[in-house]
Structures are given as structure tokens and as C-alpha cells.
A and B are shown apart, each in its own frame.
Chain A
Amino acid sequence: MTTNPDLAPELTPADYPLSVHRPELLHTPTGKTLDDLTMAAVVAGDITSEDLRISPETLALQGQLAAAAGRRQLAENFQRASEMTTIPDAEVLEMYNSLRPNASTAAQLEEIASKLENTYSATTCAALVREAAQVYAARNLLAEEESPVAPLAPQEA
């Protein structure tokens, strides 16, 4: 797997934890800082669940730290995660279920990969799905093309 140039280390392990050493780099997807997430703001109803999410930029920073600590795969996971931040919860779950064995046809997996790529600019996630489709084809783990309805199981006596 190639190294993403976006993950070129700028942060060093000394910057961890970011919440303590580099809070100025952190913001929520809604544009709030860590300092904005106070009890007063919660009580006033100014904080919602949307304000307690991680941003793609923060995941990229954590990816830098992971790479600097020699954890290539963890950094790659954070890269996929940063792409996934904009995908709605329900759709993430749906995509996960589609990746289960014998759950999708090759065409369905390609549709997911295209959507990841075109709708969410999630290119490394799309690559993972395409890789899965290839392996599933080789290992006979794709759903049958033409029979979406499973035959009824025989009734127990």
C-alpha cells in the first residue's frame, strides 16, 4: 500500500495528547473549539451530538502521530476514517453490512465503491471495497446475481 503524501509527518510524538499540547489545532466539524464545549453551553442547549464528533482534519493529525510512532496500518485506518466522517451513521452501517460475506453481488460492491469515491471523495475506502470484491469473487463469497429472495426453509415437523 502506498504512503499518502498528506500524512507526511509534521507533528511529533511530543505533540500527543493533542487535547493537552495542541488544542489550537482541534475543532469540531461544526467549527467549535474544545474550549467551546463547556457545561454552560450544554445547559444552554448550544451543544448537540454533532458538536461532539471528530473532524477529518483531526483524524489526519492523529494519522501523522501514528505514522511518526511507526504505526503504518493505524495511520491508514485513520485515513479511511477521515474519509468516512461525512457519511451518515445509517449509511456507514449499511455499507458495513453489505461487506459481510455473501451479502452483495460484484455489481453492488462496485456501486458502493463508486458512491464512496464520487459522493464522499473516500478513495481509500473505495479501494478497500474494490479489493474485497476481488477477493470475494475468488473465494466464492459474493451474493448470487439473480436470486435476491432466499428459498423458504422446509417447515419443521
Chain B
Amino acid sequence: MTAVAPRAEGTGASLTTSKRTDVLENRPVNLDGFVEEWPEKGLVAMESDFDPQPSVRVEDGRIVELDGRTRDQFDFMDTFIADHAIDVDTCESAMATESVEIARMLVDPRTSRADVVAVGRSLTPAKILDVVKLMNVVEIMMGIQKTRSRRTPANQAHSTSAKDNPIQVAADAAEGAVRGFAELETTLGVVRYAPLVAIGLQVGGQVGRGGVLTQCALEEATELDLGMRGITAYAETISIYGTESVFVDGDDTPWSKAFLASAYASRGIKMRFTSGTGSEVQMGNAEGRSMLYLEIRCILMAKGAGVQGLQNGSISCIGVPGAVPGGIRAVAAENLVASWMDLECASGNDQSFSHSAMRRTSRLLPQMLPGTDFVCSGYSAVPNKDNMFAGSNLDTDDYDDWNTIQRDMQVDGGLRHVREDVILQVRNKAARAMQALFVELDLPPITDEEVEAATYANSSDDYPDRDVLADLEGARSVMERGITGIDLVRFLERAGFGDVAENYLQVLRQRVSGDLLQTAAVLTGDFTPLAAINDANDYAGPGTGYRLTGERWEELKKLRHVTSAENPEEEVV
């Protein structure tokens, strides 16, 4: 049985729909899933009668009522938020401010970022929801433009392989880094491959552009282990949830996650949490709240834990808000709230979302146009079929489109067009560095044929197969021998890749200074930390804040094919 009438086959007498309808039926957007709202189950983006009304009450310097619940009724999210996230001294007066007044502060350039952030520190989740519900998507973008923490926008890539091939990951990391990504992330099909793939990501990244930061998304304890060894530079896959029941299903609590945040900082390792609309309803326990209300609870939990940043924007659950009315507006609103709460925001656009190219593009504009700390928290720097995060909203096929949109709109999405010879050179060098390093580490050899393949490859199909069992044995021995980042630096230097070794050492040295622990920190090409302290967003209306001008704008005017004005027969290189 199907719920819809069968479609007519062919043409002629049996035609039951118009030819135009046939055309529309076959448009990619109609392969996407859409569903009615079901507020009782939390299948609603941000407008639900089942969300609580804002309220707060303070007694003896302690919040005793939050959004209609008294302390004896608090679940652990309420308790954590009341005790850690909200400024108690100012919350009653801030909560008395009309929501529309606060919404105007977010939009109006004459209100400074500092002032609107200060108000935000004193609000409850339901009040924050009440404010952003008043804002349309353009106003939300205005708010993101003003409240994002770092002045200069950036971007993050996924570099993974369907075969967990470390040489592929290294070559694609090198290309991604030279194209402009400030952070690179990998994950695995076969988890035991992790050490070799994480090494590939780090080495390739440092070949492409010194100072790129890398991470390997794994189970919490393993991820921390790779970080402590200095094989990765930061961590992000520290998931939090908006209801107590789902948080517990994830085998964590706000206190365990807050402890973990401090553990990373205690090793000098940058870290951010991950959350997003739709995760609670997808995991079957939204407790009848809207997706955005629950996400705002996550954002406040992250703030209360003192973690510097958050990856949000539905992330791997984008199909859920994407299916309901106003869902993509809610996703933009969650990025706004993370930014407003003064957290680094890596703003999604990192998961396969739609069959429609138009829809994929419209979904990314609320982050790309105002600029966020990381427009994508995972632009696939490999073809999506090699993306082990189950595919991203953007992949390598979209590089030229992305660069063209940057040029059309004069916005900085963090990438640039790079000449073919430069790309081939860094891909080749990354593969050769891995080849030399594998010899030093006594790992299964990387052949010249593999290096050649890596130089010119598009996907994992273009590489010779590796001996997976031998590689896994090698990966095990890397862990057992206690290989660390400093060993890799020494081996790279000894193998004749001194510049790559130097770049890697510079990244490791950052741990000693702790500079990358500050909000929204990245490393520039000359290894200067750039964070929301020395590059604080100073947007205050037209003519202020980050503007795409000067050398960077000249760089972004370049595309694969631009005709010379002087000689229309020639292209500009």
C-alpha cells in the first residue's frame, strides 16, 4: 500500500497529471523528505505551545525558579544552567526587559556586541527562544554578523577516505589546507585505522599550509588520547543534548562533560562541544519541547561548562529540522544563539541535506553571508562518497561554485581558487612525506605508484588498494610504541621534510602557551593565534567589522576561468 495515488506511466490516454507536473515530480527536491509538525512529540522547529514560558526567581543569590519550574522540579539541565550559565545578579532585571527590545538590540547596529552579549548572559532558555522567535531569517543573519565572536570568518573541512587510506587523507588535507580551510577533521570507517589516518591528516595539513589545526572524531576517551599524544591538535566531537534522558542515553551528564572540557584545557588542547536541533527527537525523547528550545538548553549548558565553543546547526540531524516548516530558519537561529552567548560557533553545513542544489545553497547562505567562526563545520574536502561523516552539504565538486559565490557576493567564506600546479605540488609532497614517515615508523611501505596516484586522484577509487591487515597491525604498533607528535616531528625532519616538521612543531608549541584555548582561536600562516580577543568582532553597522577588501579581495576575484579585460582571447592566471 502507498499513501499517494500511483503516478501515470508514459503518455497518452493513461495520463493523469500534466506534463508540467511530470517535470516537477522529477525535480531533485521531490526526493527530499518533508513531514507535518507534531509538537506533542517535539517534531516542531521553534514555534510550539508546549514550550515553557520564560520565568526566573532568585532567592539568597541562587536561582530557585527557571522557566516555570521550581528547583525541586529541576531536571539536571535546569540545575546546571541555573547554577553555571546564567548571571544570577542581573537575571531578574534582564528577564524583565521586553523580548522585542532584546531582539532589536541584536539587529540594531547602534547596540554594541558587548551590550547585547551582556544581556544574553542573564537570560533563561525560554526567554532566549522568545527573543529569537521574533526574528525573521534576515534579522537572524544580522544578529550573527554582529555577535559572531571572531572578526575574521573561517572554514573547516572533512578529510576522510571510504577505504581509510591515510595517503588519500594526507593528499586531500594538503589540498584543503592550501585552499584555505583553517581546521581539518577526519574520522574512520574502521576505527583501528585511526592513528595512521590522524597522522595523514596532520602531515598533509602542515604540507598544505603551516598552522592548520586537525582533529580526529572518535569516541570521547580515544579522541582525548590522540590529542594528549599530540597527533591531533583539537577536538570537537564532544556531544551534548537538550533533555536529561537523551543526555543519559549518550552516557554523559553536564558534569562529566564539564570535567572533560577541563581535561582538554589541562593538556593545552583546544576543544568545542557539539549539539544541534533535532537530535533529541531523533533519539526519541524530546519531552514534547521544540527543537530550538532544547538546542538553546544545550548552548547554555556549553556556556556553563566554560568550553570556548560549540559546533551547532543541527549537524548530523539536519534531515529532521530540514523536513519541518521553518526548520532551516531554526537552524540559523541556533547559530545566532551560540554566537550571542559568546561561544565560538562552527555552524553546520556539514551533512548531506538535500537532493536539490538550490536547497543546498539556500541552506548555507544564513551562515555564509553574515560569516561565522567556521561557516561549515565540515565542508567535504573529499568527494562525498569518500566522506565518512555520511556526506556533507558541500563537497569537492562544489569548490568552484563556492569560490564563485564568494566573488559574486563579495563575502569571505574562507576558501580561494588555487592554481593547478600548486595543488599538484602539495598533494605530491604530502604523499611523499607520508611515504618517508612510514619508512621511519617501520610501517607497511607506501609505493611510488601510490604517491603518483595521490598527486592526481579525485577519490579513493583512484588509489591502489593497501594491505589493510598490515596497516591495522602498523596502527596498533604506533599506539603500543607510544608514538607521539614529537616523534613524528623528529622523523619528518630526519627524512628530509624539515619545513613540514617545523610547521608541525610550531603547532605543538602552541600547547605550552595555551593561546589556542581562548574563544574561536585559529592559527594564521605565520603561526600567530587569532582569537576573539585580538581579533574580536567589532561590527557596528555599515563600513565596520570584517570587510572583504585589499589583498584578500584580490585573491578571491580569481577563479578557474576569468577572461582578460585587455585581451578577450586570454584568461587571467
Interface residues of A (CB under 8 A from B): 1, 13, 16-20, 23, 26-28, 34, 37, 39, 42-43, 45, 47-49, 51-55, 58-59, 61-62, 65-66, 69-78, 80-85, 87, 89, 92-93, 95-97, 99-102, 125, 128-129, 131-132, 135-136, 139, 141
Inter-chain contact B533/A52, CB cutoff 8 Å: no
Within 8 Å CB of A19, what residues of B?
509-510, 512-513, 515, 529
Given contacts A43-B490, A70-B114, whether A95 and B511 have CB atoms under 8 Å apart is no
- What is the CA–CA distance of A73 and B88 in the complex, to the nearest angstrom? 13
Give the tally of cross-chain contacts (CB within 8 A): 209
Q: Please indicate the chain A residues that have their CB under 8 angstroms from the CB of B258 in the complex.
A: 77, 80, 128
Cβ-based interface call for B162 (8 A) = no
B262 interface residue per 8 A CB criterion:
yes
Q: Which residue of B lies closest to A12 (CB)?
A: B533
Which of B251, B266, B304 has most chain A Cβ within 10 Å? Answer: B266
Taking CB atoms, residues of chain B closer than 8 Å to A69 are 518-519, 532-533, 536
Tell me the smallest distance from the CB of B88 to a CB of chain A, in Å. 9
Q: By the criterion CB–CB under 8 Å, are A66 and B518 in contact?
A: yes
Our pick among A42, A65, A75, A95 for the contact of B490 (Cβ within 8 Å) is A42
CB distance from A92 to the nearest CB of B (A): 5
Complex: chain B residue closest to A109, CB-CB: B255
Is B66 in the interface zone, CB < 8 Å from A?
no
Whether the Cβ atoms of B266 and A92 lie closer than 8 Å is yes
- Contact: B519 with A58, CB < 8 Å? no
- B92 at the A/B interface (Cβ < 8 Å)? no
A-B contact pairs, 27 of them (CB 8 A): A1-B84, A13-B536, A17-B513, A17-B531, A26-B513, A27-B512, A34-B509, A43-B490, A45-B490, A48-B486, A53-B268, A53-B511, A54-B511, A65-B518, A66-B518, A69-B519, A69-B532, A71-B519, A77-B305, A89-B225, A93-B263, A101-B251, A125-B259, A132-B253, A135-B76, A139-B76, A141-B248
Report the minimum CB–CB distance from B84 to chain A (whole Å). Answer: 7
Query: Are the C-beta atoms of B262 and A77 separated by less than 8 Å?
Result: yes
> Which residues of B495-513 have CB atoms within 8 Å of chain A's CB atoms?
498, 501-502, 505, 508-513
Give chain A residues whose Cβ lies under 8 Å from the Cβ of B557. Answer: none
* A contact residues around B228 at 8 Å (CB): 89
CB nearest to B531 among chain A residues:
A16
Q: Across the interface, do A65 and B253 meet the contact criterion of CB distance under 8 Å?
A: no
| Cβ-defined partner of B514 (8 Å) among A18, A37, A47, A141 | A18
Say how far A71's CB is from chain B's closest CB, in angstroms: 7
- Measured between alpha carbons, how far is A17 from B211 in the docked complex, in Å? 15
Complex CA gap A17/B510 in Å reads 10
In the assembled complex, the CB of A58 is this many whole angstroms from the nearest CB of chain B, namely: 5
CA of A95 to CA of B258 in the docked complex: distance in angstroms?
Answer: 12
Smallest CB-CB separation from A21: which chain B residue? B534
From A52, A62, A70, A75, contact of B117 by CB (8 A): A70
B85 touches A73 (CB 8 A): yes
Query: For residue A74, which residues in chain B have a CB less than 8 angstroms away from its CB?
Result: 306-308, 518-519
Partner among B75, B224, B268, B514 whose Cβ is within 8 Å of the Cβ of A93: B224
Of residues 227 to 275 in B, which have CB atoms within 8 Å of A's CB atoms? 228-230, 244, 247-248, 251-253, 255-256, 258-268
B484 CB, min distance to chain A CBs, angstroms: 5
Using Cβ atoms and an 8 Å threshold, which residues of chain A touch B306?
73-78, 80
CB closest residue in chain B, given A60: B514
What B residues does A72 contact at CB under 8 A?
87
A128 to B258, CA, bound (A): 9
Q: How far is the CA of A99 from the CA of B262 in the complex (A)?
A: 13
Contact of A42 among B244, B252, B265, B489 (CB under 8 A): B489
Q: A136 and B253 in contact (CB under 8 A), knowing A34-B509, A62-B517, A76-B306?
A: yes
Kindly list chain A residues whose C-beta atoms are within 8 Å of the C-beta of B225.
89, 93
Q: State the Cβ distance, A93 to closest chain B Cβ, in Å.
A: 5
- A16 / chain B contacts, CB cutoff of 8 Å: 515, 518, 529, 531, 533-534
A116 to B220, alpha carbons, bound, how many Å?
22
Q: How far is the CB of B330 from chain A (nearest CB, A)?
A: 25
Q: Are B533 and A13 in contact (CB under 8 A)?
A: yes
A52-B511 contact in complex given A43-B493, A93-B224, A96-B256, C-beta closer than 8 Å = yes
Residues of A within 8 A of B117 (CB): 70
Does chain A have a CB within 8 A of B79? yes
Q: Is the CB of A54 within 8 A of B514?
A: yes
Q: Which residues of B contact A42 (CB under 8 A)?
A: 486, 489-490, 493, 501, 505
From B490, which residue of chain A is reached at the shortest CB distance? A42
Bound together, the chains give a CA A135 to CA B255 distance in angstroms of 9
Residues of A within 8 A of B248 (CB): 101-102, 141
**Are A96 and B486 CB-contacts (below 8 A) given A73-B85, A78-B517, A132-B253?**
no
A77–B513 CB distance below 8 A: no
Tell me, rounded to whole Å, the shortest Cβ–Cβ distance linking B53 to chain A.
24
B529 CB contacts on chain A under 8 angstroms: 16-17, 19-20
Among B244, B260, B514, B533, point to the contact of A59 (Cβ < 8 A): B514
CB distance from B283 to the nearest CB of A (A): 15
Task: Say yes or no: A81 contacts B266, CB within 8 Å.
Answer: yes
Please provide the chain B residues from 518 to 563 with a CB less than 8 Å away from any CB of chain A in the complex.
Answer: 518-519, 528-529, 531-534, 536
Output the least CB separation between A133 and chain B (Å).
9
Is B386 interfacial (CB-CB < 8 Å)?
A: no
Q: How far is the CA of A39 from the CA of B503 in the complex (A)?
A: 10
Structural contact, A100 and B251, CB atoms closer than 8 A: yes
Query: In the complex, given contacts A37-B505, A52-B512, A74-B308, what are 11 additional A-B residue pairs having Cβ atoms less than 8 angstroms apart?
Result: A13-B533, A17-B534, A39-B498, A42-B486, A43-B490, A45-B490, A54-B268, A77-B261, A78-B517, A100-B253, A128-B259
